[in-house]
């Protein structure tokens, strides 16, 4: 499949807020997609990934999204898979998210929040590729896994030779609500420069009993306390 390319190069003084769904006017959101987003020098783009439409009955989605960030550009990417998954017992979603830092002063922030249930499967493959130094990238993926669902997160930070003063962070935080749910994190670093700042981390835990007790001691029911904690975690 040939990739679809979106170019943002209008004006360095303009901040663009873009819903990716808007590029599919016929309403048929793609279940298999390769998308390249070019963010020109000095441009700021806020991207909302609303391409995953599970309520239509689709059970397999594979998307490959690449953001090419040039000099002094800023791209933010947000994905929220909560309501769209609620009604589907068996769903397979694979998201390949790539941030290419191609110019000094470029920055890409990627955030995803997921709630999985039943036998749903979500896999993230993320790459923060710092080709040019003096650039910044951040990836944060949060997931709540219930029933026998599963989340897998493979994250790689790559710093090329000569890409000095690169700043990259990746994190994957998960809450398991059942003994059958699973979350697997595989953070990786490939660093070929000696003046960089890179961080990676992963955490898997259950819902805090202390937090639940505190909220219930303030008069909240068990269900309300649970909902508040989970909603707050995904923010």
**For the chain, which residues make up each domain, given as ranges?**
4-208
Q: Is 210 helix (H, G, I), strand (E, B) or coil?
A: helix
pTM score:
0.89
- Computed over every residue of the chain, the mean pLDDT equals 88
Residue-level length of the chain: 235
Cα 39 to Cα 9, 20, 73, 96: the distances in Å are: 6, 14, 7, 18
How far is the C-alpha of 171 from the C-alpha of 160, rounded, in Å? 21
Q: What is the mean pLDDT of residues 103-127?
A: 94
Q: Is the pLDDT of residue 129 over 70?
A: yes
How far is the C-alpha of 149 from the C-alpha of 146, rounded, in Å? 6
Torsion on CA atoms 161, 188, 98, 181, rounded to nearest 10: 180
List pLDDT tens digits, range 135-180: 999 999 999 999 999 999 999 999 999 999 999 999 999 999 999 9
Q: Is 160 helix (H, G, I), strand (E, B) or coil?
A: coil
């Amino acid at each position: 499949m040939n990739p679809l390319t979106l170019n943002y190069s209008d004006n360095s003084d303009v901040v663009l807020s873009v819903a990716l769904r808007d590029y599919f006017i016929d309403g048929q959101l793609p279940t298999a997609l390769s998308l390249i987003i070019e963010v020109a020098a000095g441009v700021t783009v806020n991207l909302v990934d609303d391409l995953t439409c599970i309520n239509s009955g689709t059970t397999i989605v594979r998307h490959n999204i690449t953001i090419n960030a040039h000099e002094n550009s800023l791209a933010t990417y947000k994905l929220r898979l909560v309501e769209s998954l609620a009604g589907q017992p068996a769903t397979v979603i694979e998201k390949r998210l790539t941030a290419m830092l191609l110019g000094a002063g470029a920055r890409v922030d990627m955030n995803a929040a997921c709630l999985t249930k039943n036998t749903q499967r979500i896999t993230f493959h993320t790459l923060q590729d710092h080709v040019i130094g003096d650039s910044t990238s951040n990836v944060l993926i949060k997931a709540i896994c219930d029933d026998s669902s599963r989340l897998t997160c493979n994250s790689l930070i790559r710093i090329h030779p000569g890409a000095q003063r690169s700043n990259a962070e990746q994190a994957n935080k998960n809450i398991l609500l059942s003994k059958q749910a699973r979350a697997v994190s595989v953070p990786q670093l490939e660093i070929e420069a000696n003046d960089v700042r890179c961080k990676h981390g992963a955490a898997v835990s259950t819902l805090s009993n202390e937090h639940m007790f505190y909220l219930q001691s303030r008069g909240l029911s068990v269900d309300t306390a649970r909902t508040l904690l989970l909603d707050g975690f995904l923010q």
